[in-house]
Chain A
Amino acid sequence: MAKAELTILHLFPELLNLYGDTGNMLVLEKRLAWRGMQAHIIPVSLGQSIDLSSADIVFVGGGSDREQGIVGEELVKHTADFKAYAKDGGVLLAVCGGYQLLGHEYSLGENKLSGLGLLDIYTVRKTPRLIGNIACTTELFSQDVVGYENHGGRTYLGSDVTPFARVLHGFGNDGASGFEGARANRVIGTYIHGPLLPKNPELADWLLSQALERKGLDPVLSPLDDTAEKRANEYAAKLS
């Protein structure tokens, strides 16, 4: 029997890879491989077609405001496809700048970037930037979700979306609401930037499992030895 395979679209890695975002692709690939499955990772460059019909997981990284502007313009051309993908239960993870582009719009002073509108959120750039280690908790996972955030945008949630997690320490969406990120069905956006998945193996496995389920494959993943990941997670959860 052929190996089970998931197709993972990595959108615009050449523009949205500000903080080691490709680490996330590495984690998805390895955690499939360690279970005898295969990741087919497709880096999608600017100007290339985005084939969401064959995608099992889509990842959008973070970039500077300038790069995000370029990407945003490109993305909104595909709004209908992305909306259909999300409606069909497609798995999508976006971090930092990518998260902001999932919302209705991102206001940068006088400029406004239109987003995909996959999540009922909007973002406004303010000062100061919210920078530092962050830990938050979600009922999806037993361990805290940990990492680093660095964003000028404040993101506000509408009524059709739930927060991805609740902030234990750090800033999260706006530094005030106590919410971090947003989730609707299998679409997750978060300000925890760069290599989010290495220290959050439960989130990595959740994405894989959801994608397998949507594809009609067995969503139950065999356990892995995550001692190293868990220790790094616990250490990071204590960083302020």
Chain B
Amino acid sequence: MSFKTTLARVAARSARFILSRVLKREGAQLPGRIALAIDARFVEHMAGFLGQGVLVTCGTNGKTTTNNIVADALQKAGFSVVCNRSGANMAPGVAACLLDAKGCDWAVLEVDELSCKTLLEQLKPRAMLLLNLFRDQLDRAGEIDTIQAVLAEALTKTPETVLVCNADDPMSYNVALLSGVPCVFFGVEEEVASAQERVPEARFCQVCGEALTYRFRTYAQLGDYNCPRGDFSRPALQYGVTRICLESQGFSCAISGPDDTLFLSVGFGGLYMVYNVAGAYALSRLAGASDEAFVVAVQEYAPQNGRLQKYEIDGRDIVLNLAKNPTGFNQNISLMEVDAREKVAYFVINDNYNDGRDISWIYDVDFERLNDEQGLICFVGGTRALDMVVRLKYAGITSEVANNVSEVLAAAPDARPVYVLTNYSALWPKKAELDEMQKHHARDVCKKEAERG
């Protein structure tokens, strides 16, 4: 290790020690910033110490969950792994994660799409999983075309990286075509019975611009597509999902890979999660994890990062999930639909920098579908709560502003499950509040049991 890299590592580790032990804070970013300030190529230098190499997860929605499942599967398979589990996915977060890379087999990293521009050539991933590309944060990230170009160009600089690509997404498949790297494709093999979004996004041939036709669609622009002019169609799948059955708490499916077929029952998520799991499976297999390790990883997976995280507080089920763009929100509404109980929804929308300052996209969310929910009670929060009141008003839904989850619980009838859906910067405060409530609740239960005993 060069002197610079050593110094960067020591300084960053010290900072992390102080942050976590003394200040009791999670050091997901600052140590990374320090390391990068001392050694600008810190990521590249540290990645070189990995026994096996780097795996990257990328895409608009589902990075954190998917990446964590891959990391779990590799650990279950006996590999030592570093992973940016909390989702800090820009250069400082990746650098902080690699502080512990030395002596490890794999770094399993989720990387922000635009950050791939500089990070991929340093990480030289053995494989990169591209989950999907949806419209998100147009003011920060630009249009999807821009992101496609960034990813394709970054990949051309790492020609040995295998791209594990969602074939059902024409936007992602185009990155595969443009990049020229070796590809493994995953997708859904057969039509899925599920509630369709009111206005499926029209998508166009990435070569000639003609409207794509679909043998079937799954959600958003995903499905088995082809251009009527014949110059662009979904490629053959190496990992094809069949027998999808969506249930109120998760789904079951079969994933047929090159070697065998895996039957899976997954206790969380909806149709979008089918893709996340299929992508995670393909990537895990490429990295040498067994079917058994993958199954255990999925079955034991209990999100603790605000992604579809479940709480039980005072006998009430509370689900916290990230919903930061129209597609993500629509998938969350689908999740609510499969839960037949009368429920409470709390939508929290902020407009901070990392959310995207522009919240126009709330008009692309199909909130109208909530009219089918019997007895739904709606609350809104965040810096743009007033915009949400108007959005829901025009969807035919009355809502009230609530500043936090406690206010929602106080105002909503007992026992109804609460769905807390937030965009990016609103997620952590709500998670902190719910974690705290659950801790208190657990303490109260213990106390009562002690008194009884």
Contacts and interface: CB of A to CB of B under 8 A. Distances in A.
B363 A150 contact: no
A229 interface: yes
A194 B139 contact: no
B390 interface: yes
A192 to B, nearest CB: 10
B386 A19 contact: no
Interface in B203-247: 209, 211
A30 interface: yes
B390 to A, nearest CB: 5
Contact of A19 (B145, B211, B360, B395): B360
A63 to B, nearest CB: 9
Interface in A1-52: 14-15, 17-23, 26-27, 30
A64 interface: yes
A87 B215 CA distance: 46
A132 B357 contact: yes
Nearest to A63: B143
A221 interface: no
A150 B390 contact: no
A150 B211 contact: no
A148 B360 contact: yes
A231 B386 CA distance: 7
B393 A228 contact: yes
A15 B204 CA distance: 9
B44 interface: no
Interface string A168-210: 0000000000000000000000000111001100000000000
Nearest to B209: A70
A235 B360 contact: no
Given A14-B211, A66-B145, A70-B209, A20 B390 contact: no
Contact of A236 (B362, B387, B393): B387
Nearest to B392: A228
Interface residues on B, range: 20 to 34
A190 to B, nearest CB: 14
Nearest to B135: A18
Given A20-B364, A70-B209, A14 B394 contact: no
Contacts of B145: 64, 66
Chain B interface mostly: helix
B361 interface: yes
Nearest to A21: B363
Given A228-B390, A232-B386, A232-B390, A14 B360 contact: no
B138 A150 contact: yes
B143 A20 contact: no
Contact of B387 (A21, A70, A132, A199): A199
B394 A30 contact: yes
Nearest to B386: A232
Nearest to B387: A232
A131 interface: yes
A79 interface: no
B391 interface: yes
Contacts of A143: none
Nearest to A30: B394
Interface in B333-391: 351, 357-364, 386-387, 389-391
Nearest to A231: B386
Contacts of B393: 228-229
A137 interface: no
A66 B362 CA distance: 24
A107 interface: no
Contact of B360 (A15, A195, A229, A239): A195
Contacts of A193: 360
B202 interface: yes
A194 B387 contact: no
B387 A20 contact: no
A26 B139 CA distance: 24
Contacts of A15: 202
Contacts of B386: 228, 231-232, 235
Contacts of A194: 358, 360-361, 363
Nearest to A235: B386
A229 B388 CA distance: 10
Nearest to A225: B393
Given A64-B143, A148-B357, A229 B390 contact: yes
B381 to A, nearest CB: 14
A162 interface: no
Nearest to A43: B199
Contact of A14 (B135, B139, B202, B362): B202
Contacts of A231: 386, 389
Contacts of B211: 14
B202 A198 contact: no
A21 B360 CA distance: 8
Contacts of A228: 386, 389-390, 393
Interface of A: 14-15, 17-23, 26-27, 30, 64, 66, 70, 131-133, 148, 150, 193-195, 198-199, 228-229, 231-232, 235-236, 239
10 contacts: A20-B363, A27-B394, A64-B143, A132-B357, A194-B361, A195-B363, A198-B363, A229-B393, A232-B387, A239-B351
Given A19-B363, A23-B363, A70-B209, 11 more contacts: A15-B202, A18-B135, A20-B362, A21-B363, A23-B391, A132-B357, A194-B361, A229-B390, A232-B387, A232-B390, A236-B387
